[in-house]
Amino acid sequence: MTKKLRVALLFGGNSSEHDVSKRSAHNIYDAMDKDKYDVSLFMFTKDGILLSNEYSQRIFDGEAEADVVKEAYDNMDLDRPLAPIMALNEMEGIDFFYPVIHGNLGEDGTVQGLFKLLNKPYIGSNIAASAMSFDKDLTKKILNEAGIRNTPYVLLTPENKDEYSWEQIEEKLGNLVFIKPAKQGSSVGIHRVTNAEEYSAALEDAFKYDFKVLAEKGLDRPQEVEISILGNEQPIASKLGAVRVPDSDAFYDYENKFVDASGVVFDLPVKLPDYLTEEITDMALKAYKALDMKGLSRIDFLVDSNNVPYLSEPNTLPGFTNISLYPQMWEVSGISYPDLIDRLIKLGLDEYERNSKIKYDFRELGTERVGKKNYN
């Protein structure tokens, strides 16, 4: 029998999707073939501290998280500079990292940097692709460079925001605008605004979450369409899915996403005109390559009333619960949940292998021959 791959499943994290991540981790753990994988669990707390396998396992098994975290902290010297990553000591024998951390730490390049330092393969995009795809301003810059349609926007910062009155924003973007922190997710800090009062209140809130805030041209009640992409250099696309929020709700906000999703309908797959399906699929695959994504991504679109699609955002580590769209769109496209996990691990191993061929060259400096300086 071949040796089992020792996989560390990392979950939790300090974003609003902490609990979603726990649920995703459960589903992934259950679906992983234990004849092939030897899985150990490690949780990042809501403070971003990595817990040991034992505490993580207890939380995973259903003990009250707050109690276990308290016990763990009591037994840790949190003043030690390496306290947040002390549990790495237990990962000596790990062959492969499986991060299921949505948002901060997981999708912004942070843990990918750690895996790179440890020189181990992992699931998903690398540091730069994760960071670019997590930052809505950087994403749009790359999409614009690649000629992929997305909504026009103005980047606001604490330094320039006073230069943009509501009237100026309205003149540039129209009278329906979305205000968003650049690096958040879960619709946190996002506001739909149509007048000066709403604009200033939205800015005040959005700047709590980031120093970069986007004022983005709003589409009026767009259709929200999503697609799953899988692969490295030759990515494949799933059928499309759609999310329908109740008419009474202005948009897909934190409330109807996480608090009470009972009025939300997911169309799996969604039936759209062929030309639109094709355009969305092409845009998604093009964006996947432009942003240099690897492994997986769920790419979200907004479609206006004239059936014109705008790329809204990529999600490099999307939800993986059994009702999450990423795996479900594959399910309806013919790839089962356990098969998807096998493929993602294989893609991570392939990407690691590919990168190991990159040459790092060192040249000794020898006798330095430096340029002359001319001080004036």
Chain positions contacting ligand ADP, by CB under 6 A: 151, 178, 180, 184-187, 190, 216-219, 222, 224, 251-252, 300, 302, 312-313
Nearer to ligand ADP, 65 or 137 (CB): 137
Minimal distance in Å, beta carbon 250 to ligand ADP? 8
- Tell me whether residue 52 or residue 184 sits nearer to ligand ADP (CB atom): 184
Residue 232 CB, nearest approach to ligand ADP (Å): 24
Pick between residue 161 and residue 217 the one whose CB is nearest to ligand ADP: 217
Q: 337: closest CA among 20, 21, 12, 32?
A: 32
| Closest approach of ligand ADP to the CB of residue 152, in Å | 9
Closer residue to ligand ADP (CB): 74 or 220: 220
How many angstroms separate the CA atoms of 146 and 289, rounded?
A: 10
What is the CB neighbour count within 10 angstroms for residue 360?
4
Closest distance to ligand ADP from the beta carbon of 144 (Å): 15
Half-sphere exposure of residue 369: CA atoms within 13 angstroms, side-chain side: 0
Q: What token pair was written down for 94? A: 């790990």
Cα dihedral 202, 207, 210, 216, rounded to 10, equals 40
Answer left, alpha or beta for residue 258, where phi above 0 means left and psi between -120 and 50 means alpha. Answer: alpha
Structure tokens at 73: 């902290």
Q: Shortest gap between Cβ of 112 and ligand ADP (angstroms)? A: 19
Cβ proximity to ligand ADP: between 98 and 178 the closer is: 178
Instruction: Return the amino acid letter for 79.
Output: D
Q: State the nearest-atom distance from the C-beta of 220 to ligand ADP, in Å.
A: 7
Provide the minimum distance between the beta carbon of 293 and ligand ADP in the complex, in angstroms, as a whole number: 16
Angle at 242 between CA 239 and CA 245, to 5 degrees: 170
Is the distance from CB of 13 to CB of 48 less than 8 angstroms? yes
Tokens found for residue 132? 């670019």
Nearer to ligand ADP, 23 or 191 (CB): 191
Distances (CA, A) of 32 to 29, 37, 97: 5, 7, 14
Residue placing its CB nearer to ligand ADP in the complex, 91 or 193: 193
Percentage helix, strand, coil for the chain under 3-state DSSP, each rounded to 5? 35, 20, 45
